[in-house]
Amino acid sequence: MKCRWVVCIFVVVLGIVWFYDAPRWTSLASRILHDPSVLMNVTSNKSESIGASRALAAAARVKPILSNELATKGLHWGDAVFLRAFKEEGALELFVQDRVSKRFVLFRTYQIAKQSGELGPKQREGDGQVPEGFYYAGRASMKPDSTYHLAINCGYPNAYDRAHERTGSFIMIHGNTVSIGCLAMTDEKIEEIYSLCDAALLGGQDFFRIHLFPFRMTETRLAEATGHPWLEFWNNLKQGYDHFETYGIPPEVEEKNLRYEFLLDDTPKDSP
């Protein structure tokens, strides 16, 4: 019944616009009848337009305040960024690269509004786990038309996850306060996070790294995890954590022999 009403409404609307521009709408109707994906493309373009407007509006709201606060730390709107999150502490850190030292400086720490699962990596679709590991996001990862206001796709599964036959998709850092496997930050906070990351991409950063940890990878905290089934995995993560703590620059990361390997080099890269 619902489908019939939709068809009727579509026919009525088509009849009205036909009266005003028959040749144009005859062509469109023909295209839809022969290729239904045309209608889907129209919907997709509308969604993209709404998303772009939403992102621009968010940036307009947060840029004045954030720009001033960046300036007090010698940092700049549009410079490269780096995200790091800790599940146990429920915190997401946003770093901005200093133009002189090339090190990434902590700019903001955001409380995660909602996350699901427990300590340990995501292993399969539907397990409700937030991933742990080393990810990155580029332009295609930015989702301004998200159902959850604004969102950034973390890039799970990465090469390491795929090597371990882990499944799942669409793990996001997003707005709102609900989450299954994602990091929900509230609409207010995601506007700042998204806008800073978007500005960095517009400023020339090809992609930004997103490091997801179970907790702060200190020797003391790892000692408390003695005997935990994920301890070996966490010790591997700690290598990447320690690199950033030492050099202030996220390491180059790759999967090799089912482990993360890191380029322990303090020389800054064009794409951090």
Residues labelled as active-site residues: 174, 182
- Residue indicated by tokens 């045309």: 38
Dump the DSSP string for 65-129. Answer: HHHHHHHHTT--TTS-EEEEEETTTTEEEEEEE-TTT--EEEEEEEE-SB--S-SS---STTS-P
Contact partners, residue 46, CB within 8 Å, separation at least 6 = none
Beta pairing class for 133-137 and 142-143: unpaired
Q: Taking the CA atoms of the chain, what radius of gyration do you get in angstroms?
A: 22
Best CA proximity match to 212, nearest among 126, 96, 43, 92: 92
Helix and strand totals (H; E) in the chain = 7, 11
Could you tell me if 24 and 14 are in contact, meaning their C-beta atoms sit under 8 angstroms apart? no
Distance CA 65, CA 213 (A): 29
Distance CA 209, CA 217 (A): 18
Which residue type sits at 59?
A: A
- Can you state the angle between helices 37-72 and 22-34, rounded to 10 degrees? 100
Q: How far is CA 225 from CA 5, 50, 91, 126, 231, in A?
A: 59, 46, 20, 26, 7
